């Protein structure tokens, strides 16, 4: 098989009219049946078609596209799969993608748009795999999938249910803020303008460039700013195995999240206020740095992740039910105050599941906003000098949704509002915040005020205000 024959077949696929594309894919894949050395080139050509085919001119849900992806997947699974094949489907639009049981080499699905139901159940990824900034519009399942390299899900959006039950992560499992980073001298910077991330068109948010496409390695560390993976529906990591770092820093869980029975061997950062860790275990590896569990959980001498008796009666009591208890706990235990505020901030970073611009709201929606206001008022009360003042506190409200926030007269250290959305009336008059950030980098990740705002000093750069400013 010659490269010229493959190129000719690839050209026929690229120029084929709707209805003739599936036979063109079949013909292209047939060239690799007897020539293993040509298979990666052939797969690359099919992937290039998925990347270049404009879903605006051809229904992205067409049977032809589904069938073409099935043909490709069939070559990568079964008793005699094509071996050492990687997929580059970055930026592609895929519908009802079923790659379950496939064996893949290093692959990238960065910035891909997955419509319908997506399945990677039982798939094996032999090298690093990238899903950063991908959007799963429907349910996505990765049950019993095996990631033998790093698995990058930084800033991935799961709008339906996500299931990683029984998945095994040999390298870093990265669901935190943007994981795709380049050094100053990386030649990939020459192609940065070719990256087309899916617009950040989430409810109650209006910055299409949030999050930024790429961050420079010298700038960001594991705990730097940005937004992590977002799970709008239920997510399960039940019985998953994390042999490397399990990084969920700034990830957002909008519904039920379970890590029951999971095994954590390396550094872990999971500080969301309400996740289920029943039966989970930790191997105690601290080589990469400190491990952080949600407030209310800790590890015992045997490595079991257990409710933390030192913070009873708060242990495992989620917000909002535990708000008053959490508040009193901070008064009694000054050493826990910063962790308590981190927990409250994480609650406010949970996305609001309905449009805040709508004038009519259900009683359940009003109750949710009432709870969020209660958490905001509790934070503000502890930042105002007085008998119950918590001094020298920092706040991480990156990407938070805040409604009628009143921080007037508050004092704090660093406050991160990168990408935050302020609804209703916002007040900062009389506040003394040592350092405050409203944007991540230039105009990217800017905060937006959907209403009137009173600033303590002058209006900060790059913020967007839909209301009066004073």
Summarize pLDDT for 248-281 with one digit per residue, the tens.
988 999 999 999 999 999 999 998 878 899 999 9
Angle separating helix axes 337-348 and 323-332, nearest 10 degrees:
160
pLDDT at 220: 66
Strands 297-299 and 305-307: antiparallel
Does one domain contain both 303 and 365? no
470, part of any domain: no
Say whether the peptide bond before residue 320 is cis (omega within 30 degrees of 0).
yes
What is d(CA 450, CA 435) in angstroms, rounded to the nearest whole number? Answer: 23
Instruction: Flag whether pLDDT at 458 surpasses 90.
Output: no
- Lowest mean pLDDT: which of 12-26, 193-207, 344-358? 193-207
Does one domain contain both 72 and 124? no
C-beta atoms surrounding 203 within 10 Å: 14
Tokens of 442: 């230039």
Tokens of 215: 């961050």
241, part of any domain: yes
Residue reference for tokens 């937004």: 227
**Mean pLDDT to the nearest integer, 287-298:** 87
Instruction: Flag whether pLDDT at 31 surpasses 70.
Output: yes
- DSSP 8-state class, residue 261: T
255 burial class (0-12, 13-18, 19+ CB within 10 angstroms)?
Answer: middle
354, part of any domain: yes
Phi, then psi, of 369 in degrees rounded to 5: -65, -35
Summarize pLDDT for 79-129 with one digit per residue, the tens.
889 999 999 999 999 999 999 999 999 999 999 999 999 999 999 999 999
Does one domain contain both 340 and 393? yes
pLDDT at 57: 44
pLDDT at 225: 67
Going by C-alpha positions, the residue among 133, 28, 35, 12 that lies closest to residue 82 is 35
- Of 61, 81, 101, the last residue of a domain is 81
pLDDT at 2: 76
- DSSP 8-state class, residue 88: B
Does one domain contain both 192 and 341? no
317, part of any domain: no
Q: What is the pTM of this model?
A: 0.93
34 burial class (0-12, 13-18, 19+ CB within 10 angstroms)?
Answer: exposed
- Lowest mean pLDDT: which of 34-48, 196-210, 412-426? 196-210
How many angstroms separate the Cα of 381 from the Cα of each of 327, 345, 407, 444?
10, 14, 9, 31
Report how far Cα 222 is from the mean position of its chain's Cα atoms: 14
318, part of any domain: no
Contact 86, 104 (CB under 8 A): yes
Choose the most confident range, by mean pLDDT, from 152-166, 192-206, 345-359, 446-460.
152-166
What is d(CA 429, CA 384) in angstroms, rounded to the nearest whole number? Answer: 12
How many angstroms separate the Cα of 78 from the Cα of each of 73, 151, 306?
10, 23, 41
Does one domain contain both 118 and 260? yes
C-beta atoms surrounding 425 within 10 Å: 16
Does one domain contain both 9 and 142? no
Does one domain contain both 169 and 74? no
**Mean pLDDT to the nearest integer, 10-17:** 91
Tokens of 409: 């007269």
Q: Bin 401: left if φ > 0, else alpha if -120 < ψ < 50, else beta.
A: beta
Q: Where are the alpha helices (DSSP H) in 31-112?
A: 39-52, 63-74
- Lowest mean pLDDT: which of 222-226, 241-245, 399-403, 458-462? 222-226
pLDDT category, 324, cuts 50, 70, 90?
confident
Going by C-alpha positions, the residue among 154, 101, 107 that lies closest to residue 126 is 107
Q: Where are the alpha helices (DSSP H) in 307-453?
A: 323-332, 337-348, 363-382
In b/e form, how buried is each residue of 441-466, taking b as 16+ CB within 10 angstroms? beebbbbbbbbbbbbbeeeeeebebe
Residue reference for tokens 């990824």: 125
316, part of any domain: no
DSSP letters, 120-181, are -TT-EE-S-EE-TT-EE-S-EE-TT-EESS-EE-TT-EE-S-EE-TT-EESS-EE-SS---E
Summarize pLDDT for 34-80 with one digit per residue, the tens.
899 999 999 999 999 999 865 544 565 578 889 999 999 999 998 88
What is d(CA 106, CA 147) in angstroms, rounded to the nearest whole number? Answer: 10
Does one domain contain both 235 and 250? yes
pLDDT at 218: 66
Report the SS3 class of residue 246. strand
Residue reference for tokens 């019993």: 144
Query: How many Cα atoms sit within 13 Å of 342 on the Cβ side?
Result: 16
pLDDT at 291: 92
What is d(CA 463, CA 438) in angstroms, rounded to the nearest whole number? Answer: 7
Residue reference for tokens 């700013």: 225
Does one domain contain both 157 and 260? yes
Tokens of 237: 């990591």
Does one domain contain both 54 and 7? yes
pLDDT at 316: 58
Going by C-alpha positions, the residue among 174, 165, 159, 163 that lies closest to residue 231 is 159
Contact 407, 386 (CB under 8 A): no
Does one domain contain both 198 and 90? yes
- Of 81, 100, 120, the last residue of a domain is 81
174, part of any domain: yes
Choose the most confident range, by mean pLDDT, from 58-62, 222-226, 308-312, 440-444.
308-312
60, part of any domain: yes
Q: Which residues constitute the domain of residue 329?
A: 323-465
Does one domain contain both 181 and 40? no
- Of 256, 290, 311, the last residue of a domain is 311
Q: How many domains does the chain have?
A: 3
């Amino acid at each position: 098989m010659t490269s010229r024959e493959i190129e000719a077949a690839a050209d026929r696929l690229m120029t084929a009219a709707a209805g003739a594309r599936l036979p063109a894919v079949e013909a292209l894949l047939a060239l690799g049946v007897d020539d293993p050395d040509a298979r990666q080139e052939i797969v690359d050509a099919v992937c290039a078609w998925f990347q270049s085919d404009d879903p605006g001119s051809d229904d992205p849900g067409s049977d032809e596209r589904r069938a073409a992806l099935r043909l490709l997947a069939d070559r990568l699974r079964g008793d005699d799969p094509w071996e050492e094949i990687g997929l580059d489907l970055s930026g592609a639009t895929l519908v009802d993608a079923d790659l379950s049981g496939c064996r893949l080499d290093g692959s990238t699905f960065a910035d891909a748009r997955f419509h319908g139901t997506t399945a990677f159940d039982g798939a094996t990824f032999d090298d690093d795999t990238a899903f950063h900034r991908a959007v799963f519009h429907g349910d996505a399942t990765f049950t019993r999938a095996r990631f033998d390299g790093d698995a990058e899900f930084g800033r991935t959006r799961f709008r339906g249910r996500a299931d990683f039950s029984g998945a095994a992560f040999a390298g870093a499992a990265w669901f935190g803020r943007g994981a795709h980073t380049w050094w100053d001298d990386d030649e990939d910077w020459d192609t940065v303008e070719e990256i087309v991330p899916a617009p950040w068109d989430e409810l109650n948010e209006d910055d299409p460039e949030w999050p930024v496409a790429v961050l420079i390695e010298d700038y960001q560390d594991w705990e730097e700013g940005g937004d992590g993976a977002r799970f709008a529906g239920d997510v399960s990591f039940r019985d998953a195995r994390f042999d490397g770092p399990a990084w969920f820093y700034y990830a957002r869980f909008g519904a039920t999240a379970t890590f029951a029975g999971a095994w954590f061997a390396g550094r872990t950062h999971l500080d969301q206020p309400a996740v289920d860790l029943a039966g989970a275990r930790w191997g105690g590896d601290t080589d990469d740095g400190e491990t952080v569990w949600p407030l209310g959980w800790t590890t015992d001498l045997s490595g079991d992740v257990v409710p933390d008796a030192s913070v009873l009666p708060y242990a495992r009591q989620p917000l909002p039910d535990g708000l008053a208890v959490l508040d009193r706990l901070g008064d009694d235990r000054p050493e826990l105050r910063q962790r308590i505020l981190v927990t409250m901030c994480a609650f406010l970073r949970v996305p609001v599941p309905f449009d805040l611009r709508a004038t009519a709201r259900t009683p359940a929606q009003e109750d949710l906003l009432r709870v969020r206001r209660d958490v905001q008022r509790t934070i503000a009360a502890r930042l105002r000098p007085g008998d119950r003042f918590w001094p020298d506190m920092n706040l991480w409200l990156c990407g938070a949704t805040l409604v009628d926030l009143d921080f007037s007269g508050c004092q704090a250290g660093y406050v991160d509002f990168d990408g935050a959305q302020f609804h209703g009336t916002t007040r900062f008059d009389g506040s003394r915040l040592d350092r405050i950030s409203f944007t991540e980098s230039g105009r990217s990740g800017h905060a937006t005020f959907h209403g009137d705002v009173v600033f303590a000093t002058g209006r900060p750069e790059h913020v967007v205000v839909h209301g009066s400013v004073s």
